[in-house]
Amino acid sequence: MAGSDAGQGHSENWTKFVAKCLIGGVVVASSVSMLASYNGAQLQLPIGIQWKRKKKPVRVYMDGCFDMMHYGHCNALRQARALGDQLVVGVVSDAEIIANKGPPVTPLNERMIMVNAVKWVDEVITDAPYAITEEFMKKLFDEYNIDYIIHGDDPCVLPDGTDAYALAKKAGRFKQIKRTEGVSSTDIVGRMLLCVRERSVSDTQNHSSLQRQFSHGHSQKFEDGGSGSGTRVSHFLPTSRRIVQFSNGKGPREDARIVYIDGAFDLFHAGHVEILRLARGLGDFLLVGIHTDQTVSASRGAHRPIMNLHERSLSVLACRYVDEVIIGAPWEVSRDMVTTFNISLVVHGTVAESNDFKKEDGNPYAVPISMGIFKVLESPLDITTTTIIRRIVSNHEAYQKRNEKKAESERRYYEDKTYVSGD
């Protein structure tokens, strides 16, 4: 009896041991019997079980200023994440940007909010240096366990003319991704500076054409550098593949509480991110409506939007709090729309470009209000697209100088550009 009890106890211990091994990384493989030693006894592993060491995740690092963060930045982060299992992002400090490029439009705290909100980012390092120094590279490898450092195919040159990633390349730990076509922070700042210049030329001029130039890239004089700013209007070529790459590809559960929020989401900024975060917290699925260029122009002026519909859609889709977008959403939220998308709650922030949600007549949210499913959220940040534009206007000369400095390297990149595989 004692021997039987001992055998039973030994069997129970062996069962627990095997269970722990399975949790710790033992996997089912081919039908092979193996012998293992447990407390000195030769025991047979169950058929189909073999030892396998857990694979170390590949960690990749990408840094940047991420000033006026746009879909090009997001696509770079998406590509970087695809080269590893975990993406660590370094955000360059304000002081480093000023020293190397000129004044940033968005301060570090706002840039941190933006980068943390990108759904392909796993970890963020604040106050990263502009150049990869020997000391910082060692820190990346030793403390952050980074395997590879990533950057786009466009050159990143320091004020002294040297390559910012020379050390990483020399160490054999550098990987290149393809730069996203048709946009850069320089371009976007240039679009706003262009608005300022156009207004000063003639207040009676029909400015509606300017927005079309931004959307379709037809402003020849600016492409040729006639303005002296080097501004290139939008050359973004939207494809279904890019939208799919940014999309979550999943619909809501049948019993999901779907929250809806709409807007222009022009020059996607930290204020947008924070209100989307709050909205997502009120349900299981966040649906975002993005208004057409024509709708935005009609409500906010002929010079808006700065970014076209597809550019704005990708920026919103890259946000981790967003589950789905309606590209070209209607201005008014109708009962049919509420039914079609099974919307449980419609929300709007207190900080906005317009106060249409407060109107008694012509309120775009009249239907959800009448249905008792409308809620106004207290916006965490007092930032709008106009806030960003005013920052540019108030420091017009500094940004003009910064753009002119960057224009030459942008021009050389496009002239010398060759095909780079990847997407």
Q: Report which listed range, 64-68, 376-380, 405-409, is most confident.
A: 376-380
pTM: 0.76
What six digits make up the tokens of 55?
């694979």
Are 146 and 88 a contacting pair, CB within 8 Å? yes
pLDDT at 163: 83
pLDDT at 357: 75
Helix H or strand E encompassing 118: none
Residue 76 has pLDDT above 90, yes or no: yes
Q: Which of 47, 415, 410 is nearest to 229 (CA)?
A: 410
Q: Beta strands of 2-112 (E only): which ranges?
A: 27-28, 35-38, 41-44, 49-50, 59-64, 86-92
219 SS3 class: coil
The predicted model gives 136-150 an average pLDDT of 96
Query: Taking the CA of residue 116 as centre, how many other CA atoms within 13 Å lie in the half-sphere pointing to its CB?
Result: 13
Distance CA 102, CA 130 (A): 12
Tell me the CA end-to-end span of the chain in Å, nearest whole number: 69
The predicted model gives 37-50 an average pLDDT of 50
pLDDT at 301: 84
The predicted model gives 140-145 an average pLDDT of 97
